[in-house]
Structure 1
Amino acid sequence: MITEVNAVNFRQNLGEMLNQVQYRNDSIVINKDGKPVAALVDAELFARIRRMRERFDVLSNRIAEAYADVPVEDGLAEIDAAVAEERQKR
């Protein structure tokens, strides 16, 4: 479950919210001035997010290297064509 709280409420109830995250695997979104500024998630989920980000960075770098010599317009046209093809499949 995802709970949203303002920063003041979060600060006042930190211990309880840590328990929610640790024992119930909840996530907490902390808002400041009505806008989300941070999230509290359990350590296992954070580790998964970190691994996914590292993998994404590796793949992004491989794509960037593969297309380094391709003009931007050609690359964007190829992306647009691939998106259009996937949308037609649906």
Structure 2
Amino acid sequence: MITEVNAVTFRQNLGDMLAQVQYRNDSIVINKDGKPVAALVDAELFGRIRRMQERFDALSSRVAEAYATVPVEEGLAEIDAAVAAVRKTR
């Protein structure tokens, strides 16, 4: 479950919020001035997010290298065509 709280409530209830994340595997989004600024998630989920980010960064680098010589307009046209093809099949 994902709970949203404001920063003051989070600060006042930190112990309870930590228990909620640790024992129930919930996530907490902390808002400040009505906008989300941070999230508290269990350590296992955070580890998975970090590994996914590392894999995404590596893949992005490989794609950037592969298309380094392709003009921007040509690359965007190729992306648009691929998106249109996928949407047609749905």
Q: Does TM, scored on the shorter chain, surpass 0.5?
A: yes
- In 1, Cα distance between equivalents of 2:60 and 2:6: 35
| Amino acid corresponding to residue 68 of structure 1 in structure 2 | A
- How many aligned positions are there? 90
1:63-85 deviations in whole A, cap 9, x for unaligned?
00000000000000000000000
- List 4+ stretches of structure 1 deviating above 3 A: none
Across the aligned residues of Structure 1 and Structure 2, the Cα RMSD in angstroms comes to 0.2
Matched with 2:11 is 11
Per-residue deviation, 1:13:
0.1
Per-residue deviation, 1:30:
0.1
Q: Which runs of 5+ in 2 are unaligned?
A: none
SS at the partner of 1:69? coil
TM-score normalised per structure 1? 1.00
SS at the partner of 1:3? strand
1:37-86 deviations in whole A, cap 9, x for unaligned?
00000000000000000000000000000000000000000000000000
Query: What is the correspondence of 1:46-85 to structure 2 with a 5 Å cutoff?
Result: 46-85=46-85
